[in-house]
A and B are shown apart, each in its own frame.
Chain A
Amino acid sequence: MISERVMDAATISSWMREVEASVRVERDHLVQLDAAIGDGDHGTNMNRGFEAVVQALSADQGSPPGRLLIIAGRTLVSTVGGASGPLWGSALRSGGRVLGDQTTFDGAQLVEVLAAALASVKDLGTASLGDKTMVDALEPAVETLRVEIAQGEPLARALDDAAAAAEAGMRATIPLQARKGRASYLGERSVGHQDPGATSTALIVRALQRAITSQT
């Protein structure tokens, strides 16, 4: 069956608020993970960025959902710095462009939004599955959502499974040796640590699931 739920600008705003809240709560955890194999600023940077996103979106009046994603992406580029700023910034902008000016979107279009976001992260970051990056959480989430929506699973269920897939991907980064980003400088010493980028990515996917599930 066709996914039953219709999403709109309020969905995007609610998603970004959920992200801001969970990144704030997990900030120190992200800092710890990053300190182990990076430089310990990931939690601080993401926290600063999504605070700014929530602020920017609350000032917006009546933009369609795609436009809100573009605003959120621009805000991340201009506030986060590091690698996460351009990566998540481009991801949200690419996702937003998929929706154009339409005021609502369905589950199948949500898949396209996330697929565009993933493609932009892989392109800009030149990372693939297994490099111990955010791709390891985002790609399984997008694929799970795509398959389940195509099979007619209810959106809430498909999103829950997508978030679980992101979390599984996040945990699966622990035994990997990093091949991109700052953790790659450590070589074998990056093995045994969970990737902070994959961790915040799992938070972002879980936040989407919460935003959409709580909306009805």
Chain B
Amino acid sequence: MAVETSQMRKFLNDPADVVKESLKGLAAAHPDLLRYDVANQIIVRKDAPRKGKVALISGGGSGHEPLHGGFVGLGMLDAAAPGEVFTSPVPGQMLAATKAVDGGAGVVHIVKNYTGDVLNFKLAAEDAADEGIKVTSVVIDDDVAVQDSLYTAGRRGVGATVLAEKLAGAAAEAGADLAHVTDTVKRVNARSRSFGVALSSCIPPANGKVIFDLPEGQIELGIGIHGEPGRRRAPLGRASEVVDVIFEAVISDLKPKHGSKVLAFVNGMGGTPLLELYLIYGEVDARLRKAGLEPVRNLIGSYITSLEMAGASLTVLELDDELIKLWDAPVHTPALRWRA
């Protein structure tokens, strides 16, 4: 039986079990890639720990699938620590993940910039260091919708997280050392900017209610990935007008060099179909070329989501030759796979 409230219709047994049951399904679907450590609530790459390979772990609240569990596998993450829906995991999960994947070459924690994630990862990294594991942490903060100032918790980590996991994961797979893998995550974060918009709220299964009401004809600009309202509301115009806003926000902040090669990542928030995401990509591609940039790589699909929210985000990453090579390197995870 599915669970239904006046606002919610979801496939649930018990809302309290949704994360565990979903992870169980992920493991059942991909036994060749990963395993589910039920006691610690972590997803671990099947062949971990790999001796001499730098390991990457990430984690955060659930509700952003396929992030992060869907990115565990060859050429990407070694483990993921999923919390409850939209709630940071606890330090014990990250510590267990760190210990499960440490092959002696060190472990990189990829942390999205949310107060809860940062605090819990910080405690876990301290515990891991106490146990003699070399851990580095990189905080991802690519969302230009949030002003980075003394007056905020800083920019949120959004789309660049997916790109950093892929690119640094490829570097680690190719044998890069801890410093280089860490630097790759930092470089991807430094050269990426993102901006998201929502056409609807999402409904966390635990309370069955929308997080915000969006009146008819309105759109939320500058949203994150937890159903939190955006920076402002605006009338929903034509797609090309919405893309104008998104594109301007990202490019004016990234300030890529004229003629740069870039990767454009058009991400769905969970409730927007590929039909629309490709429409958006077409608009983005044209604007990039008009701005004198070269979109040589792209990623289009729902990879870092906010439950069933309708909406999309754009991430632009300014590439260099090494990043292009790392992007093209083999990857085999539940959600991302090529050349492997």
Which residues does A use to contact B, with CB under 8 Å?
Answer: 28, 31, 35, 37-41, 44-45, 77-87, 124-125, 177, 179-182, 184-187, 189
Contact = CB atoms under 8 A, between A and B. Distances in A.
A181 B209 CA distance: 22
Contacts of A39: 86, 204, 211, 226-228
Contacts of A86: 91, 116, 119-120, 122-123
Contacts of B153: 180-182, 184-185
Contacts of B145: 185
Q: Is the interface of A mostly helix, strand, loop or mixed?
A: helix
Which size bracket describes the interface of B in this complex? 35 or more
A55 to B, nearest CB: 16
Given A81-B83, A81-B88, A179 B151 contact: yes
Interface in B182-219: 204, 206-207, 209, 211-212
Contacts of A125: 115, 119
Nearest to B233: A189
B90 A80 contact: yes
B89 interface: yes
Contacts of B224: 185
A78 B120 CA distance: 9
Contacts of B209: 35, 40
Contacts of B92: 78
A182 B90 contact: no
A41 B115 contact: no
A8 to B, nearest CB: 30
A82 B114 CA distance: 9
A90 to B, nearest CB: 8
Given A81-B89, A182-B115, A185-B156, A41 B151 contact: no
Contacts of A35: 207, 209, 211-212
B150 A179 contact: yes
Nearest to A39: B226
B146 interface: yes
